Amino acid sequence: MSATLHRRLDVSLRVLLAIGGGYAFATVASAALSRSLPLPPAQAVMTALLLGFLLHALAAIAVFAARTAWRAALWLALPTIALAAWVWPLGGASPV
């Protein structure tokens, strides 16, 4: 495989990870935050959703800062799976 093709595939994979993986991480993290913030339910959900935008941006930055695309995938997958395993038995994101 040529170096140019390898680089293009690497960047393409990172873009997909930043978009899809960042979305998944931000969504699950928002659900976890909405369940754990000590605020009234409506304020907890709104605060968690606003923090989700920040988390998505940080996840995208982390994907492009990682040494390899596979390491970036691991960085996104582990916390996403851990948070999902914690939120799922609680009934999802609904704090009420």
How confident is the model over 36-71, as pLDDT tens digits? 889 998 999 999 999 999 999 999 999 999 999 999
pLDDT band, very low/low/confident/very high, at 93 (cuts 50, 70, 90): low
CA angle at 64 for the pair 59 and 66, rounded to the nearest 5°? 90
Domain spans in the chain, listed from the N-terminal domain onward? 3-90
- Which amino acid is located at 2 in the chain? S
d(CA 84, CA 88): 6
At 68 the three-state DSSP class reads coil
Q: What is the pTM of this model?
A: 0.85
Cite the DSSP H helix spans in the chain. 3-16, 22-36, 41-65, 69-87
- DSSP 8-class letter at 89: G
Residue 96 clears pLDDT 80, i.e. is over it: no
